[in-house]
Chain A
Amino acid sequence: MNNQRSLFFNVDWISVSIFLVLCTIGWFNIHSAAFVPGHPNVLDIDTDYGKQLIYIMIAVVVAIFILLLESRFLTTLAPAFYVVTTLLLILVLVHGRNVGGNQAWISLGGGFRLQPSEFAKFSTCLLLARYLSGTNIKVTELKSFLTAAGIIIFPMLLIMLQPDTGSTLVFSALILVLYREGLSPYFLILEGLFITLFVLTLKLESHWYVIGALVIIGAIILLIFKRKTSRLKRKK
C-alpha cells in the first residue's frame, strides 16, 4: 500500500459525502426555521444559519486534520483519550452544570460549555477498536468478552449518574460491533426484545399484552437455545 501516492487513498468517500449532504440539509433547515427578516442571506453571520456555516467549515477543517494523522497515532493514544474522558465524566459529576435535569455540562467560561459524554462516545469507540483488533482477542472467550463489555459499560454507568439516559443508550449501539466480532446473537435478540418492549409500552394501553408477548418470545428463544446446545453436545 503506497501511502505517498495519495493522501486520502483510504478515505471512505461515501461516508464523507453522506456527512456533507446531512450538514447541508441541516443548514438549509435552520435557514427556513429560524429565518430572520431583513437578513435573508444564508451567509449572514449575524444569524443562526450564518453561524451554522462557520461551524460546518470548522468541522471540515478539523476532519481534514484528523484524516491527515497517521492512524497509528490514534491507536496509540486511544487509552489516553479514554482515561481523559473518564476523568472528565467524573469531573462533570462533581463540578457540572445542571441543564434540563442533567448534570452533563462543564462550563468553560465565555459562554462555552463542554459535554464530556460526547467525547466519551468517541474515545470508547477508539479503545474498543484497539482492544478488539489486538491479537488473540476473541469475544467468544469469557475474559475478552468481559473486558470489551467493561470498556463499554464503565462510561455508560458514569453517564447514567448524570443522569443522561439518551447518551447512555447510544453506547448500546456498540453491541453491533461485538456481534460482528463473534458475540452470541442472543444478545442482539435480547436488545431487540427490549426495544420492542419499549415501543409497545408507548403504543399500548394495557401492559399485560406486552408482558405476555415478551414471555412467549422469551420461551421460544430459550427453546431454540436449548436445542442448539444439545445438538452441539451431540456433535462433540
Chain B
Amino acid sequence: MNSFFVRRYVIAGIFITITILLVAKLFYIQVIDDHYSKYATKNVLRPIKQYPARGPILDRNHKVLVQNEIFYDITVIPKQVKPFDTLEFCKLLHIDKTEFDTRFSKAVRYGLNQSSIFEKQLSAQAYASIQERLSEFQGFFATPRYLRTYPDSVAAQFLGYISEVNDRDIKNSGGHYQPGDYIGATGVEKAYEDVLRGTVGVKNVIVNSHNEQMGSYENGVYDTAARSGERLISSLDIRIQKLGEQLMQNKVGSIVAIEPSTGEILAFVSSPTYDPNLMVGRERGNNVAKMYKNPYDPLLIRPIQAYYPPGSSFKPLNALIALQSGLITPQTSYYCTGAYKGGLPHCDEPHGQSDLSRAIAVSCNTYFSSVFEKLMNVNGPRNIDTTFVEWRKKVSKFSFGERLGIDLPNEGKGFMPTAALYNKTFGVNHWRSNSILSLAIGQGELEATPLQMANIECTIANHGFYYRPHLIKAIGDKKITKDEYTQRNYVGIDGQYFEPVIDGMQQVVENGTARSSKIPGIIMCGKTGTAQNPHGKNHSIFVAFAPRENPKIAIAVIVENGGQGAWYAAPIASYIVEKYLTDTIRRPMDEFNRIKDADLMPDPTYYYSQIKKAAARDSIRKARADSLRKKPAVKSVSNKKNNNNKIAYSPSPVKRRYNE
C-alpha cells in the first residue's frame, strides 16, 4: 500500500466508463437500431412466390383459344427421403433406374434440404395415377403449375407464345420479373402482357440455418395472394379461323378477315402454321429448333409481316382516286384490244369496250393503264414527279406503306415507292407515266401486308372510312372502348364514288373473274388479283366483302404461288364468308376438298434461296432508300420478319442469315 492508493478509483472509473460505453452501444444495436433485426429477419424469411394463373384468351363467342391447364412438377427434398421401393417409383414416373440415380444425385448436389424439381410438367392424367401413391415416397412432393394449353390448336401466330424472361426483360421491367418468370414473347401474349400476367403473390416462410422450412411467418399476415391475369375476349371467330387454317394447309399464304363496322379482326391465318401446344411443355426446345429449320418459317406472322404485291386487287383504288379527281366517270370507257397500246401490260383476252364496272369485273389491264396514265399526266407529262407525290398521298390515306397500328407487336409497313426512288432509278425528269405503269395494276414496287389489303376492303365496304383494326374486344368484363378504335378514319374519297366500284366488284363474283366462287344467297363483292412476283409462280389473291348491303365481313386471301386469284384465293375467301354469314357451307364438298387438299408448297430449297436473294436485294434497296431519305427504309419483298420476333433463348444460325 502506498500513496497512490486512491488511484485504484481512477482505474475502476476507467473500467466502468468502458463498460457503460459498451452497454450503451449494445442497447443501441439491439433496441434502437433496427438494421440488424431486419438483417436477421431477412436471414430467416424466405419469400416464396405464388404464381398467378395467366389470363385465358377467348374468341368473340367466348370459345376458348388458350387457357391454363394444371400440370404437376414432382419435387424432392433429399434429406426427407426415407428408403422406398425405387423400382416401383420409377415405374410410376416411366423412367429407368439409371435416370433415377442421375436425377437424384443432381438433387443431392443442389442441396440436401433444398427442394428441387425431379420430374417436370406431368399432365393431370399422368399425375392422377401417381397422386394416391405419392405419400408412400417420403420427401417427394407435387407442386401444381399452370401452363398454356390450346384446346383447338389454332391461331398460333395471332396468340403468340410466352417464354422465360431474358436479362434485358428483367432489366427493363423495373423489378417486375425475376429469372424463371414467363413473359409474352409475340402476338397477343406480348401485346397484352400487362393484363394477362396477373399479380404474383408472396408467401413468407421461416427457415432455419439449414434452410429447412419451419412454418409460415406471423401466421401469414404479410402474405399476399396471387391474382390471376385478366380474361381477354378477342375479336377472332374460331369457326372461320379453323376453317381458314384448314383450307390453307399445304399452302403458303395468309387470310385476314375484318368486321368493317368495327375494325375487329375475325380471322388471322398465317400459313404454314404450327400447333401452339408445341410451344409449351417439355419438348418445347426441340420443337422450336425444328420450326427454325423449317424453310417456310411458320413463326413468321404473315398477316402483318409478309409483303405481297397487291396485283389487280389494287385496281379499285386507282378507279376511286380517278373518280374523286373527276378524271373519269363511271361511264368512261376504253377499248381493249388485248394489250395496252399494243404493248405491256396485256390482258388475257381482248375485252373490247368496257366501262368502269365491267373493267373491274373482268380486271382489264388496258382500262386501268389508261386511267393511270390519265392520273399521272393530269399536270402534264413533265410534272409527273409532283403528280406522283399527290397520287402517293392519296393512296397512303388507305394506309399503304404505313402501319395501321394493330394491337400486335412487329407490324410491317408494306412498301410504297416514292418519287425520290424513281428519280434515283430513272434520273430526275427521266421518267414518265409509262415508266411506272405497273403501279396501275398493283405491280411494280408496290407491296402490302394482307392486313392492309383487308383494311382496304373495309374502307370500300364502309364507303370511305375504316376503323383501326384491332383484335381484342374486352379485358375481363370491361369492353374496350378506346377512342382510337371507334374513330372513323376517312380516306378522302366521297361516298358516292364507291357505288360504281362496288358494282364492278359485285360483277367480279356474279359474272366476272371470280364467278366460280359465287355464294348462293349472298351478294359478295370482290376483286381477284394475280400477283407476279420474283419467287416463281404468281400469287393467287382475292379481296372481298359481303354482303353488299350492311357488310359484315371484309377479307383478303393470299395463296403464294397459287396462280390466278380465281383458282385458290377466291374460293377460299368464299368458303370463309359463307361459313361466317350462314355457319354452314352448302356448296359441293368435293370442290371444297379439292381446294383444301391442294398442295401448293413451293420447292423448299428454291423458296429458301429466293428468300435469301430477296433479302440481299432488299438490303441494297434499303441502303439506297436510306441514302435518299436518311430514314430507316421501307422493307420489301415477300418474306421478312423483324429480328425482335426471335425467341430469345434459341438462336438459329441458319435463319439469321437471311434475317437482315
Contact = CB atoms under 8 A, between A and B. Distances in A.
Interface string B1-35: 01110011011001000000000000000000000
Interface in B164-211: 209-210
A37 B4 CA distance: 56
Contact of A181 (B2, B10, B14): B2
A180 B8 CA distance: 6
Contacts, number: 18
Contacts of A35: 209
Contacts of B10: 179, 185
A180 B7 contact: yes
Interface in A171-195: 176, 179-182, 185
B11 A181 contact: no
A55 to B, nearest CB: 24
Contacts of B4: 180-182
B14 A176 contact: yes
A181 B6 CA distance: 11
Interface in B447-468: none
Contacts of B2: 181-182
Nearest to A192: B14
Contacts of B11: 176, 179-180
Contacts of B7: 179-180, 182
A132 to B, nearest CB: 10
Interface residues of A, number: 8
Question: Interface residues of B toward A: which range?
Answer: 10 to 19
Contacts of A182: 2-4, 7
Interface in A18-38: 35, 37
Nearest to A185: B10
Contacts of A176: 11, 14
A176 B12 CA distance: 10
Interface in B522-560: none
Interface string A180-218: 111001000000000000000000000000000000000
B135 to A, nearest CB: 24
A35 B208 CA distance: 11
B62 to A, nearest CB: 55
Nearest to A176: B11
A181 B2 CA distance: 8
Contacts of A179: 7, 10-11
Contacts of A181: 2, 4
A182 B14 CA distance: 16
A51 to B, nearest CB: 20
A64 to B, nearest CB: 27
A11 B11 CA distance: 21
B210 A37 contact: yes
A96 B14 CA distance: 37
B81 to A, nearest CB: 16
Contacts of A37: 210
Contacts of A185: 10
B438 to A, nearest CB: 76
Contacts of A180: 4, 7-8, 11
A181 B1 CA distance: 9
A229 B241 CA distance: 108
A161 B49 CA distance: 56
Nearest to B212: A37
A164 B7 CA distance: 31
Nearest to B79: A37
A112 B14 CA distance: 38
Nearest to B11: A176
* Residue of B3, B4, B14, B209 with most partner-chain A CB within 10 A: B4
A189 to B, nearest CB: 11
A37 B11 CA distance: 46
Nearest to A139: B4
A176 B15 CA distance: 11
B375 to A, nearest CB: 78
A145 to B, nearest CB: 14
B530 to A, nearest CB: 79
A119 B2 CA distance: 30
* Residue of B7, B8, B209, B210 with most partner-chain A CB within 10 A: B7
Nearest to B15: A176
A22 to B, nearest CB: 14
B70 to A, nearest CB: 35
A37 B214 CA distance: 14
A194 to B, nearest CB: 14
A11 to B, nearest CB: 20
A176 B11 CA distance: 7
Given A37-B210, A181-B2, 8 more contacts: A176-B11, A179-B10, A179-B11, A180-B7, A180-B11, A182-B4, A182-B7, A185-B10
Interface of B: 2-4, 7-8, 10-11, 14, 209-210
The 10 closest A-B pairs by CB, nearest first: A182-B4, A180-B7, A176-B11, A180-B11, A179-B7, A180-B4, A181-B4, A180-B8, A37-B210, A179-B11
18 contacts: A35-B209, A37-B210, A176-B11, A176-B14, A179-B7, A179-B10, A179-B11, A180-B4, A180-B7, A180-B8, A180-B11, A181-B2, A181-B4, A182-B2, A182-B3, A182-B4, A182-B7, A185-B10
